[in-house]
Amino acid sequence: MLPMNTTNTTPKYLIPLLLAVALAALLVGVWAASGFLDASRDSKPDDLVSATYLAGGKPVVEFALIDHHGERFDNARLQGQWTFLFFGFTYCPDICPMTLAVLDEVEEELRQNGTDINLKTVFVSVDPARDTPERLADYVPFSIPTFSA
């Protein structure tokens, strides 16, 4: 049988030293993160860099959906305009709202730059079991007031 060691063998300076190292690491981490955030805010491009226009395009296959007002949404509602289609779902916590906000910024920037195109963004749900027309009627105008469903 071994005798129990009742004496504390930890040096008295070790705990304060570990706390000081942890605090220094925390401060360096906060400083580095603030530098990265400042750099990302400054790197936002002010101008549209480039775009590709493919003349002609492809015809859209006939389809029929129901919009957030319970009305038919089909090919006829896409005629005579450019349309961004965004496929998502209303229970999407992060990506969908951020993407909708980016698309809204694109529309706004095009309008501010005097781009003379008729542009519409359409939100298409990929979760029809939960995304009822009533839920979409609340979600679409709340997310981005200029959007259609």
pLDDT in tens, the chain (149 residues): 555 555 556 667 777 777 777 878 877 777 777 766 555 555 555 565 677 777 877 788 899 998 888 899 999 998 888 888 889 898 887 788 888 888 888 888 888 887 777 778 888 899 989 999 888 888 877 766 665 54
- Residue 87 is assigned to a ligand binding site: no
3-class secondary-structure state, position 64: strand
CB atoms within 10 A of CB 141: 14
**Predicted local distance difference test score (pLDDT) of residue 38:** 58
Residue 57 falls inside a structural domain: no
Is the residue at 39 inside a domain? no
Q: How far apart are CA 121 and CA 78, in angstroms?
A: 10
Q: Among residues 94, 91, 87, 96, which one has the least CA distance to residue 126?
A: 87
Q: Does residue 73 lie within any of the structural domains?
A: yes
> Could you tell me how far CA 60 lies from the centroid of its own chain?
27
Q: Please report whether residue 136 resides in a domain.
A: yes
Beta partners for residue 97, in sequence order: none
- What backbone phi and psi angles, to 5 degrees, belong to 83? -135, 125
Query: Is residue 139 domain-resident?
Result: yes
Domain assignment of residue 125, given as a range? 64-143
- Quick one: residue 130, left, alpha or beta (phi over 0 = left, psi -120 to 50 = alpha)? alpha
Whether 92 has a binding-site annotation, put simply, is yes
Residue 90: name the closest of 133, 139, 134 by CA.
139
The CATH number of the domain holding residue 103 is 3.40.30.10
Domain-embedded: residue 87? yes
Q: What is the pTM of this model?
A: 0.57
Residue 2 tokens read as: 């071994």
Domain assignment present for residue 38? The answer is no
Evaluate whether residue 134 is within a structural domain: yes
According to the model, what pLDDT value does residue 81 have?
82
The total number of structural domains in the chain stands at: 1
